[in-house]
């Protein structure tokens, strides 16, 4: 009788794990679609783990990604935090650093008009995409984030510190609530040692988390 009970317990455990496994796999799937809404052709696409220092091969190969089209990026399970780089027709490049792609279906490139200036915002731009840009700020650095500024890319200033009196310690997460409307934002964090880091042209309506570094 004890042996029979043991066998039934093993069978029940196996069935339970079979039901859980697909959910776990889904949560750790970093694959996504790159969507081109830039108004020009993307000629090169690179995606690599944020933990490595090289971009690797051009995923488009001999192909290009025309405006309005999407391209599937398939990554190994669990490789959630990735760096992305695209090179547009004419040679201009754009990068997204430390993007948590596991909760995403797509990463959008587009509405990146105007040039960036050192220490400040780029000039006004126009974005037709709207939605809910609220996100979670995730601090995976070894330093405390003391200031977070997030403003629409079409805005000419960084605006207020959205952390207020709060800080985000290493390993911490902080929910940033933004008004519904424009999706494309520029983000700037300032650390306890006065160092700063910026992300430009992030489509916040397509991401749940923005991770530094």
Domain boundaries, the chain: 1-110, 113-213
More confident site: 212 or 26: 212
More confident site: 181 or 142: 142
**Which tens digit of pLDDT belongs to each residue from 114-170?**
333 333 333 333 344 678 889 999 999 999 999 999 998 888 788 899 999 999 999
pTM above 0.85, yes or no: no
Contact between 200 and 127 (Cβ < 8 Å): no
**Mean pLDDT (the chain, rounded):** 80
Q: Which residue, 111, 118, 193, is CA-closest to 152? A: 111
Strands 70-73 and 135-139: unpaired
Unique residue bearing structure tokens 């069935």: 15
Q: Which residue, 45, 59, 49, is CA-closest to 87? A: 45
**Which tens digit of pLDDT belongs to each residue from 145-161?**
999 999 988 887 888 99
Four-way CATH pick for 1-110: 1.20.140, 3.10.530, 2.40.50, 2.60.40:
2.60.40
Contact between 167 and 206 (Cβ < 8 Å): no
Domain 113-213 has CATH 3.90.25: no
Q: Is 1-110's fold the same as 113-213's?
A: yes
């Amino acid at each position: 009788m004890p042996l029979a009970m043991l066998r039934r317990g093993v069978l029940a455990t196996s069935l339970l794990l079979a039901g859980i496994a697909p959910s776990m796999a889904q949560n750790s799937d970093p694959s996504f679609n790159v969507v081109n809404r830039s108004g020009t052709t993307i000629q090169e696409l690179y995606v690599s783990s944020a933990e490595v220092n090289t971009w690797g091969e051009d995923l488009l190969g001999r192909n290009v990604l025309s405006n309005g089209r999407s391209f599937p990026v398939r990554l190994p399970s669990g490789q959630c935090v990735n760096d992305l780089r695209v090179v547009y027709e004419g040679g201009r490049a754009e990068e997204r650093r430390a993007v948590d792609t596991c909760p995403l279906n797509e990463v959008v490139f587009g509405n990146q008009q105007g040039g960036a200036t050192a220490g400040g915002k780029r000039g006004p731009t126009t974005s037709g995409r709207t939605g809910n840009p609220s996100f979670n700020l995730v601090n995976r650095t070894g330093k405390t984030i003391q200031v977070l500024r997030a403003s629409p890319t079409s805005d000419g200033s960084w605006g207020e510190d959205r952390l207020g009196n709060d800080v985000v310690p290493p390993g911490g997460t902080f929910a940033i609530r933004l008004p519904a409307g424009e999706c494309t934002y520029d983000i700037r964090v300032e650390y306890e040692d006065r160092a700063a880091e910026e992300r430009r042209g992030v489509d916040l309506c397509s991401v749940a988390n923005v991770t530094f570094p």
